[in-house]
Amino acid sequence: MNELQIKNELLSFIEWTEEKLSRELKNRSLFEIFNEHCEKYAEYKTAKEIVDEFQHTSFLIDTPDGFQEIGDFYVKHKRNIHHVIFENYQIKVSSDHLLETKSGFKHTKNLKNGDEILTKLGFIPIISNDIVSFEEVYDWEVLHKNHRYWCDGVSSHNTGKTFLALNLCRGAQKKGYHIIYCDTEAAVDEKQFRKFGLDPEKVRYQPVNTPAEFKFFVSNLLKQLKDARAAGKQVPKIMMVLDSLGNLATSKERNDALEGKEKRDMTKQQELRSLFRIITMDLAEAKIPFVLTNHSYAAVGAYVPTDVFAGGGGALYNSSFIAFLYKAQLKEDKPKDDENSDVDMKATGIVVRSKPHKSRFAKPIQIRFHISFFKGMNPYVGLEDFISWKNCGIEKGNLVSKSEYEKLTPGDKAKADVFEFNGKTMYFVPKASAMRYIVKHLGDGVKANQLFTPEVFTEEALRELDEKVIKPTFMLPDVNDIYEIDDYVDEELEETEENLIED
């Protein structure tokens, strides 16, 4: 939503004149005014009400970072519910719910009396933390980089990583892989697998709690696969997922919680390093892709604040590719022929900005992709940065008549293209400000919201784009190419030196 839209919304709800609103904007930021407006008209809703009403409306939720929009939601397994009491607040949350402490987010089950939690009144110590029931729980995404919200006045962390992990699993199954899903958050079940288009018969769900438990499971699995191959048995293609690394708790951390000790666990990073030293080469030898999700946090103490990969150097040094993901909101009108067209609703989703932190196989170039909460992932979003008439016959512009083409200046004619479509001669003139994309193989133009479809990005168009743009852009140069570049540079230097001597 841009500033003008927000101003118009404010004016429709608040009895302000345009002049008064302009005066207010001079003294205060638009962010402050918008949040004040949201605070005034906010309503209290339970988690269940938000989930039940999600498909009929969109929500803004109160967060330490102002009012933010809710993305996707999750219905999770039943688990222990804790009643946590503070001096001025009390909340009921699940045992694995994350609350914000001075040293970062911690699970409710690991919090002790006296631990200070961020609330709307600042950091306040816990008075009591008791299990009171066993219930089904809910979680959702907050579309902000800090991924937190106020839960009855207490700062809580939201979910989101599982959505991407399950989409990766679906893609892998299409390529014939069986999935081993190691879950540290109790975030998924058979219903969730089916919701994301996965075949549960080809998924092994494996809950894990500690690095040692995961290390033992993987080592034992790899031994069984190796023995099966040695016996001449056929072994299926396997992909392994760990969701998430940051939620693994060491045995020491668990024992300290039981004994009421408040010392910081200094063994976790060593255990994780040991884990990756043991499993990395064995997984590679067995040709098992290993995907893990993890938390990141802002290193605010650094000279330049940056996002940091949590969990130490084990995963950081052994991973072949690491990407930090940042989300932005996307909305699009639902098609008229949609099965839910009788409901006044809009399909919501997010545009994800993927910023490579480490890449062994390709140039670390930032990209974007789209996830719709109703349609899954759109594989074509982001390709608009690479298309052109020369590359694949898709570009912004206009189709003109022959007489209009003849009136063009020589310069414009040089940029234009004359092509045949179904026996008819057509004239394409590129124009960056045009309202439509002209698609050569369709012989017509499409609006921007119709661009990301298989009708536009056909297999032939994708192959052409891949060969002409994508591979040259992202592929690392071959060693032989590097030698050729070096030879060329040497020749240029020699020629330059000769010219300097002559001068």
Confidence band of 358 (pLDDT split at 50, 70, 90):
confident
Q: What is the mean pLDDT of residues 158-181?
A: 83
Residue 290, helix vs strand vs coil: strand
Q: What is the mean pLDDT of residues 185-203?
A: 82
Average the pLDDT over each of 247-261, 341-355, 423-437 and give the range with the smallest value: 341-355
Q: In terms of pLDDT, which residue wins out, 80 or 370?
A: 80
Q: In terms of pLDDT, which residue wins out, 275 or 204?
A: 204
Confidence band of 298 (pLDDT split at 50, 70, 90):
low
Contact in structure between 123 and 64 (CB atoms under 8 Å) = no
d(CA 109, CA 87): 19
d(CA 230, CA 235): 11
Tokens for 238? 């396997």
Strand ranges inside 363-477, DSSP E: 367-372, 376-378, 394-400, 417-421, 424-430, 436-439, 444-447
Residue 17, helix vs strand vs coil: coil
pLDDT of residue 369: 75
Residue 104, helix vs strand vs coil: strand
Q: In the chain, how long is the greatest CA-to-CA distance? A: 90
User: Which residue is listed with tokens 């959702």?
Assistant: 140
pLDDT of residue 271: 84
Residue 65 has pLDDT above 90, yes or no: no
pLDDT of residue 417: 95
User: Which residue is listed with tokens 């020699």?
Assistant: 494
Strand ranges inside 143-236, DSSP E: 148-151, 154-157, 178-183, 203-207
Confidence band of 175 (pLDDT split at 50, 70, 90):
very high
Q: In terms of pLDDT, which residue wins out, 489 or 265?
A: 265
Q: In terms of pLDDT, which residue wins out, 54 or 217?
A: 217
Contact in structure between 153 and 81 (CB atoms under 8 Å) = no
pLDDT of residue 272: 84
Q: What is the mean pLDDT of residues 256-272?
A: 72
Contact in structure between 33 and 24 (CB atoms under 8 Å) = yes
Query: Residue type at 158?
Result: N
DSSP 478: P
User: Which residue is listed with tokens 């168009």?
Assistant: 461
d(CA 325, CA 356): 9
pLDDT of residue 73: 61
Highest averaged pLDDT of the listed ranges 11-20, 54-63, 116-125, 194-203: 116-125
Alpha-carbon separation of residue 465 from 352, 398, 473 (angstroms): 22, 21, 11
Confidence band of 25 (pLDDT split at 50, 70, 90):
low
Residue 489 has pLDDT above 90, yes or no: no
Q: In terms of pLDDT, which residue wins out, 152 or 296?
A: 152
Summarize pLDDT for 82-108 with one digit per residue, the tens. Answer: 999 998 889 998 887 888 888 777 888
pLDDT of residue 45: 80
Q: What percent of the chain has pLDDT over 90?
A: 31
Highest averaged pLDDT of the listed ranges 69-83, 139-153, 156-170, 453-467: 453-467
d(CA 191, CA 54): 18
Neighbours of 473 (CB within 10 A): 12
Average the pLDDT over each of 2-6, 404-408, 461-465 and give the range with the smallest value: 2-6
Residue 499 has pLDDT above 60, yes or no: no
Q: In terms of pLDDT, which residue wins out, 319 or 176?
A: 176
Contact in structure between 177 and 238 (CB atoms under 8 Å) = yes
Residue 488, helix vs strand vs coil: helix
Q: In terms of pLDDT, which residue wins out, 319 or 487?
A: 319
Contact in structure between 217 and 182 (CB atoms under 8 Å) = yes
d(CA 121, CA 357): 36
Give CA 132 to chain center in angstroms.
Answer: 34
Q: In terms of pLDDT, which residue wins out, 24 or 316?
A: 316
Q: What is the mean pLDDT of residues 161-179?
A: 86
Summarize pLDDT for 363-393 with one digit per residue, the tens. Answer: 888 887 776 655 566 788 889 889 999 999 9
Residue 402 has pLDDT above 80, yes or no: yes
Domains of the chain, earliest start first = 1-39 (no CATH), 42-159 (2.170.16.10), 165-319 (3.40.50.300), 384-474 (no CATH)
User: Which residue is listed with tokens 């932190």?
Assistant: 357
Give CA 211 to chain center in angstroms.
Answer: 25
Q: Do the strands 290-292 and 238-243 form a parallel or antiparallel pair, or are they unpaired?
A: parallel
pLDDT of residue 500: 52
Neighbours of 341 (CB within 10 A): 11
Backbone angles phi, psi at 441, to 5 degrees: -75, -10
pLDDT of residue 339: 42
pLDDT of residue 398: 94
pLDDT of residue 343: 32
Average the pLDDT over each of 56-65, 78-87, 275-284, 340-349 and give the range with the smallest value: 340-349
pLDDT of residue 502: 52
pLDDT of residue 164: 73
d(CA 257, CA 251): 10
pLDDT of residue 356: 86
Average the pLDDT over each of 295-309, 430-444, 484-498 and give the range with the smallest value: 484-498
pLDDT of residue 270: 82
Tokens for 253? 């951390």
Residue 52, helix vs strand vs coil: helix
Highest averaged pLDDT of the listed ranges 10-14, 246-250, 426-430, 446-450: 426-430
pLDDT of residue 59: 77
d(CA 357, CA 366): 10
Query: Residue type at 283?
Result: L
Burial of residue 27 (number of CB atoms within 10 Å: 0-12, 13-18, 19+) = exposed
Confidence band of 41 (pLDDT split at 50, 70, 90):
confident
